């Protein structure tokens, strides 16, 4: 698949371990500011909802200048992505070295079902943040966080389709925050989960 900075990219030649989200490397003072901002943002988002909180409010609560906040995170979508980083790394580590069926050692079909369940746990807990990070700009979902990791993992677990990379993108499309958020009011969580598990089984 040709490289395209505005859409999905193939990771077929990249080992899964190399695609995990790396922890940020930064000076001690920058790390302290980052931690203060993320703590303040997480608290404000939890108390008031993501949409109701401004970057100015986050800067004031964190005790940093607005310029520092915007230079570091760009906008609220960048802040949302930074908040999700640690949650993504936990899930990635569980996939790479955790117990089966999410981690290694289980049949591929069981690992795929476990991934769908675990990803939905992560997504539903942070739905507004993920939705903001994925829809900030056209193609944002494919340029942020761990999308390439999730895609590579699912591709490796699919042995039935003639084009596993495409099938992996199709399953991940159904796991997009905007899509899941639109389905939840009508279908409810139980039916969304069941439908996505069924889709994963059919793709195998």
Q: pLDDT (tens digit, 9 = 90+) per residue, 63-83?
A: 999 998 998 898 888 898 889
Q: State the number of CA atoms in the 13 A half-sphere of 196 facing the CB.
A: 29
Q: How far is CA 114 from CA 19, 91, 104, in A?
A: 20, 11, 11
Instruction: Tell me what the mean pLDDT of segment 122-149 comes to.
Output: 89
pLDDT of residue 6: 44
Q: Is the pLDDT of residue 17 over 90?
A: no
**How many CB atoms sit inside 10 A of residue 46's CB?**
10
Q: Is the pLDDT of residue 137 over 80?
A: yes
Instruction: Tell me what the mean pLDDT of segment 149-172 comes to.
Output: 94
Residues 128 and 45 sit within 8 Å (Cβ to Cβ): yes
Higher-confidence residue of 16 and 102: namely 102
The Cα–Cα gap between 14 and 8 comes to 15
pLDDT of residue 11: 45
Q: Is the pLDDT of residue 183 over 70?
A: yes
Q: How far is CA 154 from CA 11, 79, 88, 95, in A?
A: 11, 27, 15, 11
Instruction: Tell me what the mean pLDDT of segment 31-35 comes to.
Output: 86
pLDDT of residue 4: 41
């Amino acid at each position: 698949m040709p490289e395209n900075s505005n859409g999905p990219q193939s990771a077929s030649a990249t080992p899964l371990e190399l695609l995990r989200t790396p922890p940020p490397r930064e000076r001690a003072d920058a790390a302290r500011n980052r931690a203060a901002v993320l703590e303040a943002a997480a608290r404000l988002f939890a108390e008031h909802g993501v949409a109701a909180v401004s970057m100015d409010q986050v800067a004031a609560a964190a005790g940093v200048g607005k310029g520092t906040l915007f230079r570091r995170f760009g906008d609220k979508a960048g802040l949302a992505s930074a908040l999700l980083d640690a949650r993504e790394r936990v899930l990635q580590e569980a996939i790479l070295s955790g117990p089966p069926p999410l981690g290694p050692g289980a049949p591929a079909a069981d690992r795929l079902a476990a991934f769908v369940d675990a990803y939905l746990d992560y997504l539903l807990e942070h739905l507004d943040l993920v939705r903001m990070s994925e829809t900030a700009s056209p193609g944002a979902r494919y340029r942020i966080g761990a999308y390439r990791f999730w895609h590579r993992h699912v591709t490796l677990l699919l042995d039935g389709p003639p084009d596993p990379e495409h099938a992996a993108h199709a399953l991940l499309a159904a796991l997009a925050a905007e899509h899941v958020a639109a389905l939840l009011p009508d279908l409810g969580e139980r039916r969304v989960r069941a439908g996505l598990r069924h889709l994963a089984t059919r793709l195998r």
